[in-house]
A and B are shown apart, each in its own frame.
Chain A
Amino acid sequence: MTDKPLTRNITIGEPTDLSAYEASGGYQAIRSTIGKLSAADVLDMVKDSNLRGRGGAGFPTGMKWSFVPMDKTPDGPKGHKYLVCNADEMEPGAFKDRLILEHDPHQLIEGMILSAYTIDADIGYIFIRGEYHTAAKRLRDAIMEAKLKGYLGENILGTGYSFELYLHSSAGRYICGEETALLNSLEGKRAIPRAKPPFPQVSGLWGRPTIVNNVETLCNITHIVAFGADWFKSLGLGDDSGTKLFGVSGRVKNPGCWELPMGTPIREILEDHAGGMQDGYELKGFLPGGASTDFLLPEHLDLAMDYDTIMKAGSRMGTGTMIILDDKTCPVAMVRNLEMFFARESCGFCTPCREGLPWIYNILDDIENGRGRPEDIEILERQGAFIGAIGNTHCAHAPGAIEPLSSALKFFAEEFNQHIEEQRCPYSHASGPKSGRTH
């Protein structure tokens, strides 16, 4: 047993190879599960563990899996079910999955085999961010190792269960991280999110039942199966189970990524692990869960990092990778940069996102460069409300994009007004980003 199951094998440098992974108890969970426990037993374990998706939305994993139809479908190519690992970690400030992908690829593979067994999938894909070259190489090596050892492929360890695993490198769009856009991209189609329902569990990849899970989520399965649901629940400090990979970026002394109990107070992550603010910088605010979450303020530092607590505070835990805003950085410029990213990464399918985000970016760019107008704040608020609500847009991309903006307008209203009144940025950005359109 360990209190850091996800990172116990990780030492920065070379990845854990198969023998090292096996030596630490790796692939034992497969031997003890496949052919010995029924898929329904494993599903119950995952449900009991109260594991919630680590990709950002925090949806209960067991419940997600339970929607997969388990009746035996006719053989042949029409009969496939798919497990897809979402390793398209592309949001600004997020780098937690990379830690596992690069350093302990077998942990993911074992988690995927167990997960696939649970939903009776016969084919798996790891959809990895295009820029993760090192991770892709190490995963490819690991898949080959696992295959040679009989952990993957036809008739795994003689149990009669077969699971093929493929690695697919993304061509590089942030929207591919949205699970249904990911599926379209995997099919070779434009990376446009699909309307739900139908959910991928019913009609996913090539119209077949499909589960898409985040890297960290799938890795947790191995440990839940190995050590039990109760152990997993005991890892969390509050209501949420397990550990979480937390990250901090920005002007802190020790930016990085750590596996900590779910529910660890923000202050502990920021001060104990990230080493606190760099000298001469004060904390002004932070995005607790990555670029697409609402700003929180220093007054929120004592909140526990778990899904519900952060939600109640008006933000989201997202991927658990916070971005720190310091007092020497212009919040308008920061939000402008974020909106440039989101506008650029819109898939272009629905109107509010495609047209609305570039407009927001253009206004923010004007404000930051001394061309703001008094009515701009009202337009930003109106556009934010228009784009920001889930359901107003085709997927969650634009609502996510609005979270840092709407909270910044609320918390940093003075700075916005000052920019407009003084027709300049009050922060000195000698080397700050130049003005420009999104394209």
Chain B
Amino acid sequence: MKQVFKRPESLIDVPAHFCPGCHHGIIHRLVAEQIDQFGLRDKTIGVASVGCSVFMYDYFDVDVLESPHGRAAAVATGVKRSRPDNFVFTYQGDGDLAAIGTAEIIHCANRGENVTVIFVNNTVFGMTGGQMAPTTMPGQVTTTTPFGREVATAGYPIKMTEILATLGGTAYAARVAVCTPKHLMKAKKVLKTAFQYQMEGRGFAFVEFLSSCPTNWKMDSIRANQRVIDEMIPYFPLGVYKDVAAVEPESPADE
């Protein structure tokens, strides 16, 4: 019988601690699949960030360095410059990358550091208990926006992929989702390109994953998944925003 699905070898066979319905597990698997497919397990150095994502070192069977909060892109810069032949990726949430780590990610991209950044956007600080993130939607209730995010005083959800796509050092910037099989297949393709570009030395590659956080959204898994489709995708349109190798630029909202 032909085996059509198996756990990636780069993913350690342990039960995940993530909440039911959280997309981190799926995204972990997609990243591990690419590590396997490119045969990168023994030359990968992962950079973990602060938040739920820090525990990537419990799941990825590769060398991992833990970064201070928000600094993963600077840490990855130090790693990659010292070890240019290794495959280096960061795995960061929106509280980490889009708030305290904004300066580090922008300048890492602008220098064209040859690293791959996995950015998981679930519109909330997950690990600390559901506070407002820069990506929190207008009107969204969190523990620090008990009356809903008021854009007049708390600003607007920040669109990191669009921002990073404007920078000269960015080789690839795309936003994907994993809320349906169709979205997941597209995400795989995008992730493959983001891996490929690092190996070709093209520069900074960035993939934003829209993710659910049922616990902090106070929804069941199915409703949380649906929220990604109904609320997040319209505000954070999916697509490839920059691709230095593209013959013709792909329309950002190509979904």
Q: Do A and B share a complex?
A: no
**Residues of A participating in the B interface, judged by any CB pair closer than 8 Å:** none
